[in-house]
Amino acid sequence: MEDYKLHLFPYLDSARLKTLSCGHVIPKENLIVWPLSRSSNGIDFDFTYEKRSLPVVINALGVALLELARAIPDGLVAFFPSYAYLELVISVWKRHQSSKPSIWEQLQKLKPIFEEQKGTTSVDDVLEQYSAAINGKSGGKGALLLSVVGGKMSEGINFSDRLGRGVVIVGLPFPNIQSPEWKAKLEYTEQQTVSRGGSVAEGKTAARALYENACMRAVNQSIGRAIRHQADYAAIVMLDRRYHAQRIQEKLPTWIRKGLVKDAAAKEFAQAVDSIRCFFGAKR
């Protein structure tokens, strides 16, 4: 909201602007939200640009999805920060390690996998196949949909009821800070803050807030795809150590923050899986 105040009403004192926020229709007990920073084998979920391409991180992500797929019934939607990163992850998961099945093969055995592809396959075709795998006669295992934050699946498409019992957000989908557009936005924000009497440090803080807000709006939009009516329920899992930061959690909507598991940073991945399994057990 601060972004809109800054860009739409830079000439007004912020104290003169009143905002109204409405809650969600679902009861608190219909949502469980786990921010997780470490895998079951102790690998940090560090999906910063410098670390996210490491095979050890990508394999830890695959093992985490395997464990979550066993605990979450029906449809599970995983959102990745970009199409390029999703392609890289899939290529690593398909590699065989010694005589073991690949992570991709293990995931396929648990739930049939569907993938959002940039500009090639019709979204309607993928959604139809994904829905049929969940709601059809052989839908006992559910399905796994690999999608992209800011992609076609994250905007305007509903994963209500069985289509989205679980949503996994992989990393934080920050925009490209080196792009001309974002360089201009951040520079403008810093200049506007200083022109209104703020310090240079306050200008940089405002620019960082703008950048983080853009990222979290995309995250919130993706999460919201799974909760579409009052009786709906879902588990939300956010995989990245940065989701434990207070300033990041404060950018989640109130209805999502109410579902956050207390002291999640101090808990192990196995505890999260057990908690999610119990959450769905209570819904049967």
pLDDT at 7 over 80: no
The identity of residue 263, as a single letter, is D
pLDDT of residue 5: 63
**Strands (DSSP E) found in the chain:** 31-36, 75-80, 113-115, 143-148, 166-170, 234-239
Q: 99: pLDDT confidence band, cut at 50, 70 and 90?
A: confident
- Residue 51 CA to residue 25 CA, distance in Å, equals 38
pLDDT, one tens digit per residue, over 181-196 is 999 999 998 998 898 8
In percent, the amount of the chain with pLDDT more than 70 equals 92
pLDDT of residue 21: 66
The identity of residue 153, as a single letter, is M
Q: Count Cβ atoms within 10 A of the Cβ of residue 271 and give its class: 0-12 exposed, 13-18 middle, 19 or more buried.
A: middle
Question: Which range among 16-20, 74-78, 145-149, 193-197 shows the weakest confidence by mean pLDDT?
Answer: 16-20
Those residues whose C-beta lies under 8 Å from the C-beta of residue 216, and which sit 6 or more positions away, are: 172, 248, 251, 252
Averaged pLDDT score across all residues of the chain: 90
- Residue 192 CA to residue 7 CA, distance in Å, equals 9
Residue appearing with tokens 């996998």: 113
Question: Once rounded to an integer, what is the mean pLDDT over residues 256-263?
Answer: 94
- Residue 111 CA to residue 235 CA, distance in Å, equals 17
Q: What angle do CA 220, 222, 228 make, to 5 degrees?
A: 95
- The answer to whether residues 78 and 159 touch, using CB atoms and an 8 Å cutoff, is no
pLDDT at 40 over 60: yes
Q: Count Cβ atoms within 10 A of the Cβ of residue 116 and give its class: 0-12 exposed, 13-18 middle, 19 or more buried.
A: buried
pTM score, two decimals? 0.90
DSSP state of 82: -
Six token digits for residue 23: 């809650």
Question: Once rounded to an integer, what is the mean pLDDT over residues 54-71?
Answer: 97
- Residue 134 CA to residue 271 CA, distance in Å, equals 27
**Strands (DSSP E) found in 157-207:** 166-170
